[in-house]
Amino acid sequence: MNITSGTVFIPGATSGIGLGLALRLQATGSTVIVGGRRTELLQQIAAQHPGIDTVEIDTTDPASIAAAQADLAQRHPALDALVTMAGIMEPEDLRDPASLDVAERTIAVNLLGPIRLVNAFLPGLLAQPTATVMTVSSGLAYVPLAATPTYNATKAAIHSFSESLRVQLTKSNVQVIELVPPATRTTLMGQQNSDVAMPLEEFLTEVMDLLRTQPDAEQILVERVKWQRNAEAEGRYQDVLNVLSARYRD
C-alpha cells in the first residue's frame, strides 16, 4: 500500500480507528478522503484538519455508494486505495426476538456495505497503475465474543471475502490487505476507557509501522491481536474462548 503519495478513500472514518488512520495517512503524504453520513460532522472534520477532503456516503444505501463513487471519480481521478472502515458493533441477546433487528442492521453495515463498496470502486482501482483494497475484520473473526454474535460473524465473513478477493485479483494491480484490530479504545461498544482494550494511538502507530515495513503484507496484525488470530493454529482456541466468555459473563 502506498502510504506516502497515494489517494485514499476511507468511508466510516468520522471517528475512532477510521479518523485516526486518515490523519496518520495524511501526515505521511497521502491525499485522504473521509466518508460519512452526517454532513455537519464531515464539515467539522474538514475545518479541523485542513487538507482532508470529505464525501457524504451511507454504506447501507447502494444509491449513496454509487453517488459517492461518481463524485470521487471526478474530483479524485487518481484514487488508488479504498479502506472499508464503516462498521457497527452492538450487543445481542439471541433469546430476545428484538435481536433480529440488531443482526440485520449489523449485516447491512458490516458485510453488505464493504461488498458494495468493493463492487463500486474496484473498476476504478483496476484502472490505476497500482492500487489497494483494505478490508477491516477483527480479532473476533477468529475467536468470538458471546455478547456480539452477528458482529463476530460479519467479521469472519469479511476475512473470508478478503481471502477470495485476493485470489481473484492475484494477477491484477490491486493489493488486498486485511486490517485485523484487537479491542481498541474507541467508542465502539463503549471501550474508550476499557483496561483490556489497546490504546488507540498505540494501535495506530503500530499499524503505520507495519504498513511501512511490510508493504506486501496480506494482513496487518498488531501484537495485541495475535493471541486471537493465532489461537486455533496454536491449539489455544478454547482457552481464548474461555477468556472472552468470562468477559461476557462479567
Does residue 142 carry a catalytic annotation?
Answer: no
Among candidate residues 227, 221, 218, the one with its CA nearest the CA of residue 207: 221
158-170: per-residue pLDDT in tens?
999 999 999 999 9
The pLDDT of residue 250 is above 60: no
**pLDDT reading at 229 higher than 70:** yes
Closest CA to 159 of 139, 145, 174: 139
Nearest-angstrom CA–CA distance, 133 and 165: 9
For residue 16, the Cα-to-chain-centroid distance in whole angstroms is: 11
pLDDT at residue number 194 = 87
Distance separating alpha carbons of residues 32 and 23, to the nearest angstrom: 8
What does the block give as the cell for 40? 455537519
Q: How is the beta sheet containing 81-84 ordered, strand by strand?
A: 53-56, 31-36, 7-11, 81-84, 131-136, 174-179, 219-220
What pLDDT digit, counting tens, does each position of 69-118 carry?
999 999 999 999 999 999 999 999 999 999 999 999 999 999 999 999 99
Residue 147 forms beta bridges with which residues? none
Nearest to 204 by CA among 1, 18, 10: 18
Distance between CA atoms of residues 12 and 84, nearest Å: 7
Out of 142, 151, 237, 248, the active site residue is 151
Cell numbers found for residue 7: 489517494
pLDDT of residue 193: 85
Average pLDDT of the residues in 203-209: 98
pTM of the shown model: 0.96
Residues 6+ apart with CB under 8 A from 250: none
Quote the CA–CA distance of 60 and 178 in Å, as a whole number: 21
Nearest to 120 by CA among 162, 84, 78: 84
Dihedral (CA of 38, 84, 142, 197) sign = negative
